Amino acid sequence: MIKRTNLLTLKPKTLDHNIIDRINQRQVQMLIHSCIYYTFQTSVIPDATFDRWAKELVQLQSQYPEETKQTLYYTQFIGWDGTTGYRLNTYMWEKKAEWLIEQYDKK
């Protein structure tokens, strides 16, 4: 006998919005700091910090694929392995990057 499942009674998986927020945060950080590094040839954070954030982002995206699909920059990070931000589309972040560089230089 085949057991049938009533699709109307299946509960959709609840997304964790804290995870979505964290992934969004890390994606934005990768975009901005990649822009600073590759467009302006400078850095305002240590390489080790970028690497730590990148590793965390890759892990979160792997562990929470459904939440990742709900992030603002999901398509930019498809297949991204965290080793470099060189191929990320950072054009829209140039003004923010310039501002961060200015703030860093004031210190």
Q: What pLDDT does 2 receive?
A: 63
Q: Can you give the pTM of this predicted structure?
A: 0.84
Nearest to 58 by CA among 33, 26, 32: 26
> Is the predicted pLDDT of residue 7 greater than 60, yes or no?
no
Answer with the residue of higher pLDDT: 104 or 53. 53
| % of the chain at pLDDT higher than 70 | 89
> Is the predicted pLDDT of residue 92 greater than 80, yes or no?
yes
